[in-house]
Structure 1
Amino acid sequence: MSLRPVDDATYRELAAGLALPIEQAPVWAAFDAVVAGRSHWGRLAYEEDGVPAAVVSLAEVRGPGGFRYLWAKNGPVWLVEPTAQREAALRRELAARLRQVDPRLVFVRLHALHEAPDLRPVMQGITYDRTVIVDLDRSEEDVFAAMKQQGRRAIRKAMKDESLTVTEETGLDEAAFAELYEVFVETGEREGFGPHPARRYLDMLTTLGPEHARVFVTRRDGRVLAWALVLVNDGAALYSVGASNAEARSAYAADLLHWHVMRTLLAEGVRSYDLAGAGSERFPGLSGLTQFKTKFEKEITEVAPAWDMPVHPLAYDALVRALGAKRWATAQARGLLSRVRGRRSA
């Protein structure tokens, strides 16, 4: 078993015939280059008895305080069946190599189907082990017929509303994106998450380009109700991020939006549309979105979640403790602020 660095040309050759996740494709390095604290680290090929078994592209991330780790988002990409033994063997080779070539790296975040003693739940961030993938390798009529009845009904209702329009707005400028971002902020306040600054998404659109990063928007009389940023690579599409306001719910604006996305991608020959995450027993945080996403595809697909693989376990454990202390302090501060506000309003 061996793990060796490869250049872009060799990497593409080894992955030929696969639908590389865009985060594992060479084009993603351009986005890594403009994100603060992040850069492309390298690409590796994993071989068994001289036969390629997997490829992986890694980004380096610099965290607060100067610690560093590698992030193989949606990787490794396996060329053979990823058994538990194969996954563990690749990780052993990777950890050994990193201790030699870059001993200051604390851990690697990567994906694995099988739990193992060397893997830890990610210390922060969202991951999932189930998703909803719409098969677009069939006719538009077959895609629509395969949806749940409630999905078809919602789309039909929205299509009858002449005040709604869905258009592709790929290539929009900063001022135009600001209108979409306002809806994103509203969604975050409603769902309890904080979006990245708008610049992060604009950089993604710019560096990946219109071939890979697409924007679709549902409007009512010109006002934004819902939007989606869709990433496309090797004939596969991923719903990366999006938002909808309160008005969108009663108008079924998001249903109409995703149907337009699917029709557009299907007409262009894209073969699948991944709606990016569904809830499960292990990751219940996404359960609220499962009902909406399964309107478009009844079957749920099992996927490999992300894990942290400590390269230096003691240093990793120290980071976990520090993060826990920070979260506790933040919660205490918020609680104190809430009590002060309550007294002032009493």
Structure 2
Amino acid sequence: MNDIFKYTPLDETEFQKITSDLGSTNLPIEQTPIWGNFDNHIQGREFLGSFKYTRSDDSLIAIASATLYKQKGRNWIWIKHGPVFKTKPDTKTIDKMCNTLRHQFSDSQYETPLFIRLSTSAKTSSLKTPFEHTMYDQTIIIDLNKSEDEILSDMNQSGRQGYRRAIKAGIKVHEVKKNQVKIFQDQCYPILLETGERGGFGVHPLAIYTTLLECLSENARLYVATLDKVIIAWAITTEYNKRSLYYYGGSNILARDTYAPYLLHVEIIKDMKKHGNLSYDFMGIAGKNYPSLANVTQFKMKFSKNITDVTEAYDLPFSNMRYWLFSNLLRLKRKLR
């Protein structure tokens, strides 16, 4: 079929081999079998595999890792931060990839998903703006090639003041290397619940965080900030391909009063640099898609003004009519609440 690319499933060994063909392309951890294993351990998710997409001459176009989300009233597939193309695709290539993905995942074994969510550099006619956003479109990234002094000088004045005040208040920061799951469950998750209640947002079930720490044991770290040996703020980070990310975090009112999060992240940044990472991504600020991140945006921008655009996520419906009906029914339901 000339309107689709050839697609081939990859085992972990083949995946590692094929990623070398991507050259300098930044491969996100969410587009790896490592993340797929994590997804497979979460209720309501099923990792569908990692795949390579090639032309008729077997030259590589892209790779992608996909997970099926089984939710009430809908199933959908997420290719989070992907597909990862070898070179920036033009609209013709994106359209052909959309045709390929529809063909690939239309099989009945995938329980008739409503749509595929994917990230592309351009919105083509096949793609729809999501009726609910699950992905930010801007982030703050710290360049770890800079010296520690340069990184500190890039912080704004209030950020540096917060860092110094946390030190003066007696805040200590360390990585939790033993009993991560128990410590997170007993001491960190309650802080997250408090953070969510204070900020007016929901939080994931406990299993999301503990499973991530267990399944990504070699790629995830738990850091805590303490006052008098009591945890008052924490952060979960991930590392892959020399890129580190601040994935989850929480802090209580005492942490806010003692400026603990400033010291926490400065120490994490120093640690990520020591581990050989080239960047530290604060993972999302309030762009056009996520105004609810306005409060955390103020905090993150105190570390750097280096705002980086993130490839936008779009929905690829299997049936435009089904997608239109579902999205409008969902909007109506929310208006009636």
TM-score by length of 1: 0.87
Aligned twin of 1:150: 158
User: What's the secondary structure of 2:121's corresponding residue?
Assistant: coil
Question: Structure 1 residue 20: deviation in Å?
Answer: 2.1
Identity %: 32
Whether the 8 Å CA contact 2:140–2:284 is kept in 1: the answer is yes
1:113-149 deviation line (CA, Å, top 9, x unaligned): 3233322233335322111111112322222223323
Q: Which amino acid aligns with 1:28?
A: W
In structure 1, the partner of 2:269 is 262
CA distance in structure 2 between the aligned counterparts of 1:161 and 1:83, rounded to whole angstroms: 53
Q: Which deviates more, 41-50 or 220-229?
A: 41-50
CA distance in 2, matches of 1:43, 1:327: 35
1:4 to 3, 7, 14: 7
Q: Quick one: distance in 1 between partners of 2:288 and 2:72?
A: 31
Cα deviation per residue 1:94-131 (whole Å; 9 max; x = unaligned)?
12333357572221011123233322233335322111
Q: Greater shift after overlay, 40-49 or 187-196?
A: 40-49
The equivalent position to 2:33 in structure 1, one of 26, 31, 41, is 26
Q: d(CA) in 2 for partners of 1:325 and 1:13?
A: 48
Q: Is the 8 A contact 2:36 2:49 kept in 1?
A: no
What is residue 200 of structure 2 aligned with on the other side? 192
Aligned in 2, Cα 1:90/1:171: closer, same or farther, shift over 3 Å? Answer: farther
User: What is the SS of the residue equivalent to 1:27?
Assistant: helix
Would you say 1:58 and 2:63 are equivalent positions? no
Structure 1 residues 36 and 289: CA distance shift in structure 2, 3 A: same
Q: Which residue of 1 aligns with 2:17?
A: 13
The secondary structure found in structure 2 opposite 1:15 is helix
Q: How many residues align?
A: 327
Superposed CA RMSD: 2.1
Provide TM-score, normalisation by structure 2: 0.89
- What residue number does 2:258 align with? 251
Work out the CA distance in 2 between the residues paired with 1:105 and 1:119.
15
User: In 2, Cα distance between the equivalents of 1:3 and 1:287?
Assistant: 42
Q: What 5-or-longer segments of structure 1 have no aligned partner?
A: 332-346
Structure 1 runs of 4+ off > 4 angstroms? 100-103
Distance, in Å, in 1 between the alignment partners of 2:197 and 2:136 is: 22
Listed as ranges, the matches of 1:1-346 within 5 Å are 2-8=5-11, 9-16=13-20, 17=23, 18-48=25-55, 50-65=58-73, 67-99=74-106, 104-162=112-170, 164-177=171-184, 178-209=186-217, 211-329=218-336, 331=337
Q: How many angstroms does 1:152 deviate by?
A: 2.2
Letter of the structure 2 residue corresponding to residue 91 of structure 1: C
